[in-house]
């Protein structure tokens, strides 16, 4: 019985992958009417469409860490979440990312520190989508990220300190606003691994937003006199059409 309960608990944890989510109102701006972006960030289980409380992040940034956008507290899936707005005034490629407060996951005895990124093209400019921002943990797209159809193959490269990270697990989930049912609990979170060059591939087989989370356990953080490992997540959000 103990073994069965342990197995069930592990299955539940694996099926309920945590994703820090960053969704703009559009990833491809072609009309001035769309230029005032709304950006939502939340800590959720994307496929299951359930939320968790998200403490106020350090900031939501565009292209660098100089100035955070103004954060507004909101609710997503009945849990605390945050939003911001950003007016795009000129053509370009804009890279938004969130620097969160580390979250302690008691069931896994670790801190979770995920930094999600999303890339937006404005008014036809596409140069630079494959260039890193310079985050400590980052996914750099090798496929143009704002022009993807469902069933396209997406490739990305995971970087740690600017260098390719090999043999890193990348968890993948659909932001399931479509009411889809998973075949089994194992199908909720897909997983791939990076090769020796830090590259991974995945086919997004349904339209909608997809989250990619490259998980790298690195460093420790103390809580109540005890040190716990930190699960660092390099996240990238993409929309398939």
> For 219-229, what is each residue's pLDDT tens digit?
999 999 999 99
Domain of residue 172: give its range: 2-240
Q: Is pLDDT of 67 > 60?
A: yes
Alpha-carbon span 21 to 194, nearest angstrom: 22
- The tens digit of pLDDT for each residue in 4-17 reads 333 334 444 444 68
- Short-list 166, 195, 210, CA closest to 27: 210
> Tokens representing 175?
């932001």
- pLDDT value at position 66? 82
- Give the chain as a DSSP string: -HHHHHHHHHHHHHHS--EEEEEES-SEE-SGGG-EEEEEEEEEETTTTEEE--PPPSEEEESSSS-PPPPEEEEETTEEEEEEEEE--SSEEEEEEEEPPPEEETTTTEEEEEEEEEEEEETT--TTTTS----SEEEEESS-TTSB-TT-EEEEEEEETTEE--S-EEEEEE--TT----SSGGGTSEEEE--TTSEEEEE--SSEEEEEEEEEEEEEEEETTEEEEEEEEEEEEEEE-
Q: Is pLDDT of 190 > 80?
A: yes
pTM: 0.91
Q: Is pLDDT of 18 > 60?
A: yes
- pLDDT value at position 218? 93
Question: Who's near 9: CB < 8 A, 6+ residues apart?
Answer: none
User: 41 with 87: CB under 8 angstroms?
Assistant: no
Alpha-carbon span 42 to 213, nearest angstrom: 15
CATH number at residue 105: 2.60.40.3760
Percent of the chain with pLDDT over 70: 93
How many domains does the structure of the chain reveal? 1
Question: Who's near 193: CB < 8 A, 6+ residues apart?
Answer: 167, 168, 169, 170, 200
- The tens digit of pLDDT for each residue in 30-59 reads 999 999 999 999 999 999 999 999 999 999
Q: Which long-range contacts (CB under 8 A, 24 or more apart) does 193-196 make?
A: 193/167, 193/168, 193/169, 194/157, 194/158, 194/164, 194/165, 194/166, 194/167, 194/168, 194/170, 195/166, 196/164, 196/166
> Tokens representing 44?
């959720």
Averaged pLDDT score across all residues of the chain? 92
- pLDDT value at position 16? 62
Q: What average pLDDT score do residues 212-220 get?
A: 95
Q: What average pLDDT score do residues 101-112 get?
A: 92
């Amino acid at each position: 019985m103990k073994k069965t309960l342990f197995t069930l608990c592990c299955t539940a944890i694996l099926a309920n992958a945590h994703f820090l989510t960053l969704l703009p109102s559009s990833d491809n701006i072609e009309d001035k009417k769309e230029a005032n972006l709304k950006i939502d960030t939340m800590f959720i289980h994307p496929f299951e469409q359930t939320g968790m409380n998200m403490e106020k992040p350090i900031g939501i940034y565009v292209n660098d860490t100089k100035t955070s956008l103004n954060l507004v507290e909101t609710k997503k899936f009945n849990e605390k979440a945050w939003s911001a707005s950003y007016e795009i005034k000129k053509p370009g490629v804009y890279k938004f990312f969130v620097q969160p407060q580390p979250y302690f996951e008691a069931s896994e005895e670790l801190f979770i520190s995920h930094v999600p990124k999303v890339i937006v093209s404005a008014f036809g400019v596409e140069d630079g989508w494959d260039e890193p921002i310079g985050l400590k943990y980052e996914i750099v797209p090798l496929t143009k990220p704002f022009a993807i159809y469902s069933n396209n193959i997406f490739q990305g490269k995971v970087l740690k300190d600017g260098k390719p990270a090999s043999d890193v697990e990348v968890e993948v989930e659909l932001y399931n606003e479509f009411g889809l049912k998973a075949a089994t609990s194992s199908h909720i979170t897909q997983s791939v691994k990076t090769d020796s060059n830090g590259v991974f591939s995945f086919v997004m087989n349904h339209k909608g937003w997809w989250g990619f989370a490259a998980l790298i356990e690195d460093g420790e953080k103390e809580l109540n006199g005890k040190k716990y490992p930190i699960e660092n997540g390099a996240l990238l959000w993409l929309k398939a059409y």
